[in-house]
Amino acid sequence: MLRYLLLRNPGHNRVYYLESEQLALAELALTCQRLEQTCGHIESIDIAGINYLSFTVEKTLNERELEWLSRLSFIFALFLQEVDNEAQLKPVALIPPSHLDPKISMLLKYSGKTNEIFTRMMINVGLVSSDFGVEDSIQLLDPVSGKGTTLFEGAVRGFDVTGIEMEQKMVHETTTFFKRFLEQDKYKHTLSKHAMYSSRTGSEAFIQLFEYARDKQGFKSESSRKHLGIITGNAIHSRRYFKAEKFHLIIGDLPYGIAHGNRSQKQHKSRTRSPAELMEVCLPEFHKILKTGGTLVLAWNKFVWPREDFVELLTTRGFQVLDSAPYDQFTHRVDQSIKRDIIVARKA
C-alpha cells in the first residue's frame, strides 16, 4: 500500500481562511474519482508538525494520474510514502499545465478581483465533473468575464477560452493587458475584431479574438494555436453568439450583490443585488451552448440567494445538479457580507 501526501500552497489559507482544508479535501476527493485506480483514506494528516492532505493507492500513479493531481488548485508539492515505512517521504515531480506562463493571473491586480486559486479550483472541479479530460481540446466560456482571470487560468491549461463582458472599458483593459503580456513574453500572436451577429440595426456584438502560440513554428500549425476571445456583449444573448453544443465548460463567478451588480433583460439600465433574475434568463441559453456531458460551475453569494432556490432553477432548466458530497462542501466565508458557494451542474 502506498500513500501520497500533498502539501498545500501557502496562499491557500489566505483565500479560504478556516474552510481551506474542507475545500481542498472536497477538490481532492473529486479529482481522485478521475484516477484509474481506487483511492482510499482521503484525509488530512500531520507529520512532524506539517499538515498534508493524503490518500492511499495500491500502485504508483501513472503519468495521466499525475496530470490530474497536478491540476489541483492548491497543490504545492507531492510526496510518496510507503505505509510500512512512514519515516521516509519521496518527492514526486508534478506535471503542471504550462501552455501559458501561470504568472499571468498573479500579474493582473485590481479591486474586486477573484483570487486565481479559487478560479483554478472552479475550473478543475468543472473538468473532473465532466465527461472530458486533460487530453481533450477544451472550449471554456466565462459569461461574466470581468477582467479575465478565468480566461487566463483556462489558457494556462491549454484551453480555448471565450469571455462575455458588458463593460466595454473592462474588455479594453483585458485586451490591452493580454496583448502586452504576449508581446513581453514573445508569444507569436494575432489580434482581430469581428461581429458575432447582425440585426436590422447593424452589428450587435463584437469579439476581440487572439490567436497565439509559444513561437512562430507553433503558430504555423492550426492544431497548436490557441484562442482567447472577449465579447463586448450580454450573457443573455449567448445563443446568438455561439453555435449549439460548443463549450465543454461554462465557468462564472456571479455578481455578489455587494460591490458588483448585474443587468437583466428586463432591467437594462438598473442593477439588481441577486443573480437569480440574471440566471432565469441565461440558463436556457447556457443549456443550448453547453456540450452534452459538459459542466456548468457558478459561484455566488448565498446571503442574497439560497442554494436550494438555485438548485431548483437549474433543475427546471434541464440541468443535472451535482449536490451530494463532496459537492456540498465548497461553502466558505469571504467577509461579513459574502458567504460564497459554488454549484456544479451537468448537461446530461
Q: Give me Rg for the CA atoms of the chain.
A: 20
For the chain, which domains are there? 2-92 (3.30.70), 103-346 (3.40.50.150)
The answer on pLDDT for 290 being more than 90 is yes
Q: What is the pTM of this model?
A: 0.92
Q: Report the pLDDT averaged over residues 72-83.
A: 94
- Angle CA 96–102–107, to nearest 5: 160
The answer on pLDDT for 17 being more than 80 is no
Predicted pLDDT of residue 135: 92
Higher pLDDT, 338 or 202: 338
Q: Are 105 and 116 in contact (CB under 8 A)?
A: yes
pLDDT tens, residue by residue, 292-303: 999 999 999 999
What is d(CA 121, CA 107) in angstroms, rounded to the nearest whole number?
A: 19
Peptide bond into 143 cis (omega under 30): no
**All cell numbers assigned to 270:** 438598473
What is d(CA 225, CA 108) in angstroms, rounded to the nearest whole number?
A: 23
Among 12-16, 251-255, 284-288, the minimum mean pLDDT is found in 12-16
pLDDT tens, residue by residue, 100-115: 998 998 887 777 677 8
The answer on pLDDT for 265 being more than 70 is no
The answer on pLDDT for 334 being more than 90 is no
- Angle CA 10–123–302, to nearest 5: 85
Average pLDDT, rounded, for the chain? 90
